[in-house]
Amino acid sequence: MEGELAHIGAGLAAIGSGAAAIGVGTVAGNFLSGALRNPSAAAGQTATLFIGIAFAEALGIFSFLVALLLMFAV
């Protein structure tokens, strides 16, 4: 029974991956719209873009980690 609950929890935690996907999409989309408005400034901001994506993605990775822990470590 406990194992099944853990699996359900893992599934719920995987929702976090989707949330992270929304976050990454927001970051990339806003960067793109900004870059299209001012293409000359875009090249200098790619580093910031990747840092932003990395931070957004890290939280998704955390939820993935929680899912993995529930699946395999509990």
Partner 1 sequence: MATETTGATASTCVVDGSAVGMPQLCFDWWPNQIFWLTVTLVVIFFVLSRIALPRIAAVLAERKGTITNDLAAAEDLKAKAVEAEEAYNKALADARAQAQEIIAEAKAEIQADLDDATAKADAEIAAKLAESEKKIAEIRESAMDSVKEVAKDTAKELVAAMGGKADGRTVTSAVNARMKG
Partner 2 sequence: MATEAQGEEGGLVFHPMDQFIVKPLFGDGPVGLFTITNVTLWMAITVVAVIALMVLGTSGRATIPGRMQSIGELAYGFIYKMVEDVAGKDAVAFFPYIMTLFMFIVFANFLGLVPMSFTTTSHFAVTVLLALLVFVTVTVVGFVKNGAAFLGLFWVSSAPLALRPVLAVIEIISYFVRPVSHSIRLAGNLMAGHAVIKVFAGFAAIAAVSPLSVVAITAMYGLEVLVSFIQAYVFTILTCVYLKDALHPSH
| Of residues 20 and 70, the one with the C-beta less far from partner 1 | 70
54 binds, among partner 1, partner 2, none (CB under 5 to 8 A by kind): partner 2
First to last CA, the chain: 12
Q: Please, which residues have CB within 8 angstroms of residue 40's CB and are 6 or more apart in sequence?
A: none
Interface residue list for partner 2 (CB under 8 A): 47, 50-51, 53-55, 57-58, 61-62, 64-65, 68, 72
The backbone region for 43, taken as left when phi is positive above 0, alpha when psi lies in -120 to 50, beta otherwise, is alpha
Interface positions with partner 1 (CB under 8 A): 68-69, 72-73
